[in-house]
Amino acid sequence: MSVALVQIQSCTVDMIRIKCPYCGERDHSEFTYGGDASIKYPALDAPVSEWTKAIFFRENIRGMQKETWHHTNGCRLWLEVERSTITHEIKSVKACHPQIEKITKNKS
């Protein structure tokens, strides 16, 4: 190859809409991003090494990841959202709390 040519991706702008299982589809600006939902928090008295791993070392997934969002300016549910960190496409949304999840599942 003699030249460096790259097909440039067009630039897009996000306007993520999150389908809150209670409120319906809303702009993401109503929500607060929490973080990686797959983190398993150790017991409160677990050793430092376990806590260090849980809160400092992250998988930093490039692709679909489960993450939490708080519907801060809405119903205030904490949601588990499955979202691509590349395309921002959202695959699923559900309430984090298992009992709330059950109540909202059938309705949404």
Partner 1 sequence: MTSLRKENYGKINREKVLGFNWDNKEYFGYEGDSLASALLANDVRIVGRSFKYHRPRGVMSCGVEESGALVTVGSGSSRDPNVRATTQELYSGLNASGQNAFPNVNFDFGGVNNYLSRFFAAGFYYKTFMGLPPFEWGKGTGIWMIFEKIIRKAAGMGKASREPDPDSYEHANDFCDVLVIGSGPAGIAAAQEIANNKLDVILIEQDSLLGGNSLSQKDFDPYLLNTQLKSSGIRVMPRTTAFGIYDNTIIGALERVTDHVPNPHNNLPRQRFWTIRAKHIIVASGALERHIAFNNNDLPGAMTVNASKHYLNRYGVLTGNNIVISTNNDSVYQTAKELHEAGSKVTILDSRENVNHDLSKDIDLHLNTLPFSINGRKKIDGIDICKTTDLSNKNTIICDQVLMSGGWSPIVNLVSHRGIKPTWNQENLCFIPGEIKENISVVGSAKGIWDEKNCIESGFVGANEAMNTFGIHKKEISFPSVGGWSNPIEPLFEVKSNKFPSKSFVDFQHDVTAEDVRLAHREGFISVEHLKRYTTLGMANDQGKMGNIIGLSLMAEQLDKTIPQVGTTVFRPPYTPVPIGALTGRNVGKHFRPLRVTPMHQWNIDHGAKMIEVGLYQRPWYYPKKNETLSDSYIRETTIVRKTVGICDVTSLGKIAIQGPDATELVNRIYTNPFAKLPIGKARYGIMLRDDGIVMDDGTSWRLGENEYFMTTSTAAAAKVMSWLEELLQTRWTDLKVNVTSVSEQWAGAAIAGPKSRDVLNECVFDPSEITNDNLPFMGVLQTKLKDGTPCRVVRISFSGELAYEMYIESDYAHGMMDLLWESAQKYDGCLYGLEALGALRVEKGHVTAAELDGRVTIDDAGLGKMASTKKSYIGSAMRKRGVLSADDREMLVGFFPINEKETFNAGTIVCEKNNIKGQGVGRITSVTHSPELGHWIGIGFVRGGLEKWKDITLIGADPVRNKQMEIKVVSPHMIDPEGKRMYA
Partner 2 sequence: MTRFNAWNVFKNGFTGQKSWDRQWRDPVPKKEYDIIIVGGGLHGLATAYYLAKNHNKKNIAVLEKGWIGGGNAGRNTTIVRSNYMMPGNHEFYEHSLKLWEDLSHDLNYNVMFSQRAHVSLFHSPGARDGAARRYNIMRLHGTDAELWDLETLKKNIPHLNYEDARFPIMGAAVQRRAGNARHDSAVWGYARAADSLGVDILQNCEVTGVKRSQNNIESLETSRGTIKAKKVGFAVAGHTSVLWQMAGLGNLPIESHKLQAFVTESIKPLLDHVVVYGVGGAHFYISQSDKGSMVFGGDLDWYKSYAQRGNLPIVQDCAEAAMAIMPCLGRIRLLRHWAGVMDMSMDGSFFICKTPLSNLYLNAGWNYGGFKASPASGWYFADLIANEQPHKHVQNHNLERFEKGINIDERGAGPDPKLHG
Partner 3 sequence: MLNRNSAIIEKYNIGKYPFEDKIEIILFENRNLIIQQIAAWPDEIPNVEKFFSDQLGVQKNIDFNRGKILNNNSLWRMEPSKWLLLGSTINLPENLGTSLELSHAFTSITIKGEKSDILLNRHLPLDLRLDNFPIHSSASSAIHHVSVKLFRLSEKEFRLLIPRGFALSIWEILLETASQFGYEVIDS
Residues in touch with partner 3 (CB under 8 A)? 22-24, 26-27, 30, 72-77, 95, 97, 99-100, 102-104, 107
Of 82, 39, 79, the closest CA to residue 59 belongs to 39
Select the binding partner of residue 37 from partner 3, partner 2, partner 1, none (C-beta < 5 to 8 A, by kind): partner 1
Q: CB of 63 within 8 A of CB of 85? A: yes
Query: By CB under 8 A, how many residues form the interface with partner 1?
Result: 44
The first and second tokens of residue 62, run together, are 């490039």
At a CB cut-off of 8 Å and minimum separation 6, what does 30 contact? 71, 72, 73, 74
Q: Which of residues 61-100 bind partner 2 (CB under 8 A)?
A: 62, 65, 67, 69, 83, 85-88
State the binding partner of 44 from partner 3, partner 2, partner 1, none, CB within 5 to 8 A by kind. Answer: partner 1
Question: Which residues touch 24 (CB under 8 Å, ≥6 apart)?
Answer: 108
Q: For partner 2, which residue of 56, 99, 106, 107 counts as binding (CB under 8 A)?
A: 56
Distance CA 22, CA 76 (A): 10
Cβ of residue 44: shortest distance to partner 2, in angstroms?
Answer: 16
Q: Does 62 bind partner 1 (CB under 8 A)?
A: no
Binding flag, residue 102, partner 1 (CB under 8 A):
no
